[in-house]
Structure 1
Amino acid sequence: MKMLERSVQNPIITAADLNYNWCSIKVYNPSVIKNSNGYQMLFRAVGKDWVSRIGIARSSDGVNFEVHPEPALVPIHNWERAGCEDPRVTKIDETYWLTYTAFDGITARAGITSSLDLETWDDQRVILFPQWHHTVKENCTPDWSKGAAMISQPIDGRYYMLFGDSHIWPATSTNLMDWEPSTTPIISRRPGLFDASYVETGPPPILTDRGWLVIYHGVDQLGPQMTYRIGAALLEPNDPTKVVWRSKQPILEPTESYETVGFVDVIKGGFETLKKMTLEDLHQLSMQQKLPKAVFCCGAVKEESGSIRLYYGAGDTVICTATIDLDTIFQS
């Protein structure tokens, strides 16, 4: 059985590869969709102003990407003034739907936009969940929501979305505009395992012959030495609110040198701490071994071979890719 295999070219995109102000500090957390023109990547980028923007890159082989010189999406509304983060792209019929985390400096909200060609995007708006109240995460506003990932086809006339951090909830819609969340999470934290303290949605779910494959993030412990790992779950094909299987072990965790160092967002003080530092200070900080470690996956493509190609941010600083067989996932 073929185990997870990282690309020998990792990291496949770094800020050092590019010469654009809007992505001069770090590039990470990519989402990728494959169409007739190849692999289309949307990724999070941070420049010297420490505002997150979403860039776009294209590839014919899924590894060697050419980055467009201008960002695809930038903050234009007050509710996203601090950044457009962590894109997740799904194609439904002929339309590409892009969900992302809109951050105003205090509250994270699920943002959404759409495009017919991945070049011209409709107005960015917030997904407002009626009567939604985040009851798990402490010290956040009631309308806090993030990590939205849409399922690529309707089921019995309804569209589905997974969203959330701390727990993962489903939401449904009949028109892709108005979403109704469930009050019952489908993926929660599990004491004693790699996801004991935190879970968050990963890429849009992928339909397999066993059901909807969900890639998600898990954190073992909160604090200065937390580690973000990647796990998997399987949802019923005709009812994606039901989990039929979930990995007990992570399918990917930070072990390589480019995964265990970086300008990690979740240090104490977050961006407010990082943006006060010089580049030299940042590089020295990134080499400390007691910092949080992170692999964070927002993109997954099912290849013709049947394997899954994961695209992930490493150390919140660079973009990487790895492949893994479905059978390997289901034995984790």
Structure 2
Amino acid sequence: MENTIIGRLRELAVNFINVHKGFRRSIAEPIFKRITLIMPSDVNVTNYPRKPVEVFNPAAVLNNDTLLIFPRIIFDYLNYVSSIGLIELSIRDVVNGRVNKPVNARLIMWPRELWEFRGCEDPRIIKHGDEYLILYTGWGYYYSGGELRPRAVQALAVMDNEFNVVRRGFFTIKAANGESYVPDWWKDSAFIEVKGNKVSMLIRPNIGGLEIGWSGEANLSELTLNMDSMRPVLWFEDFEFKVGWSTNAVKLSSNEYLVGWHGVSRSDYSYRNGLALVNSDGELLAISNYLLEPTGIEEEYGDRPRVIFGDGLIIHEDSLIWIGGVSDYAIGVYTVELDKALSKLTWLKG
């Protein structure tokens, strides 16, 4: 049953960590340059009367010449309930550092279900055909033993071209014998390749207290992840508490995808970020050390200090652009030459 699934997956994770630990080093090579900082006071929400206190951890999609930014937005500190908004900016203005402020945003998602009652958090988004597929954390409740218990689920929302929610739900891990399991803490996932109802994914469920990166294949119709397809691919080092996927995956070639990842430091509890290269099945091909870390008072001091986190990664011309959250209160846009970023990857094989 549930304990059997946890036991099998945890054994896989422990063996994987023991084999790979020591490959990365605790060093940072800060190659990204920040070109824009968007504060909560810079954001005007047009379809809701309250003023945001936090606008952070955004997903991003480049749609022709328009950069679509999907931030996590919070309006109060009492219950800290998150929604997801949409900001539309000219990519030229962004890369040239000429974003006119304030910027307009509108809410496109907010809690509607019990399992997301406490918030819709930290989206990663891809455009697929005429739809947008949004992976996000549903922070809410479930019933167990007649009581409400908190849980963070890996949720999916499907939106049409006008950003209307067509469908929403959350993933379940399913074994071949029909057993299923929903981790109490499942965040930080990204789609790799979508083929019909099948999708390869990068995931980060908490398995028996271990938070590492996995790959797996999911069924979008059933919202199930095939347990037998799950493989650990991203490990934490001795200098980290945990690791996770930070961004969406960007296609580089027919079978290479670039994705951001983060590690949480044991020495100062900061979130630092690197890049990884995976194939269409989620196999890790190459990985960097840290390439992006919080620097200076604006990035180091916030509602959660010393964080740059997720969630958007795009390629524009010859540049790699990272659109991320800054210390749980603001949005930072960072850029680097794509070739320079790729040169920092170390291949696992060959």
State the TM-score, normalizing by the size of structure 1: 0.78
Distance 1:158 1:203, change over 3 A: same
Q: Percent of pairs identical after alignment? A: 25
Q: Give yes or no for the alignment of 1:24 onto 2:52.
A: yes
Quote the Cα distance in structure 2 between the aligned partners of 1:16 and 1:57: 14
Q: Give yes or no for the alignment of 1:60 onto 2:90.
A: yes
Larger Rg: 2
Q: 2:259 aligns with which of 199, 214, 223?
A: 214
Contact 2:40 2:55 in 1 (8 A): yes
Deviations 1:295-331 (A, max 9, x none): 00200111122x2110001111100101122332233
Alignment correspondent of 1:244:
285
Contact 2:259 2:313 in 1 (8 A): no
Q: 1:198 aligns with which of 219, 233, 242?
A: 242
Distance 1:189 1:203, change over 3 A: same
Name the SS for the 1:186 alignment partner. strand
Quote the Cα distance in structure 2 between the aligned partners of 1:22 and 1:85: 18
Structure 2 gaps, min length 5: 1-29, 142-149, 206-210, 345-350
Q: Give yes or no for the alignment of 1:146 onto 2:187.
A: yes
- Displacement, 1:234? 1.0
Name the SS for the 1:163 alignment partner. strand
Quote the Cα distance in structure 2 between the aligned partners of 1:50 and 1:309: 29
Q: 1:161 aligns with which of 190, 198, 201?
A: 201
Q: Size of the alignment, in residue pairs? A: 285
Deviations 1:172-227 (A, max 9, x none): 135454332444311111224xxx221111111111147211211111217xx301
Distance 1:154 1:190, change over 3 A: farther
Quote the Cα distance in structure 2 between the aligned partners of 1:170 and 1:143: 19
Contact 2:188 2:245 in 1 (8 A): yes
Counterpart of 1:44 in structure 2: which amino acid?
R
- Displacement, 1:116? 2.3
Alignment correspondent of 2:114:
78
Q: Give yes or no for the alignment of 1:15 onto 2:56.
A: no
Counterpart of 1:172 in structure 2: which amino acid?
E
Name the SS for the 1:262 alignment partner. coil
Name the SS for the 2:41 alignment partner. helix
The CA RMSD over aligned residues, in Å, is 2.6
Quote the Cα distance in structure 2 between the aligned partners of 1:178 and 1:107: 17
Name the SS for the 1:107 alignment partner. strand
Matches within 5 A, 1:251-330: 251-264=291-304, 292-305=305-318, 307-330=319-342
- Displacement, 1:4? 2.0
Q: 1:38 aligns with which of 53, 57, 66?
A: 66
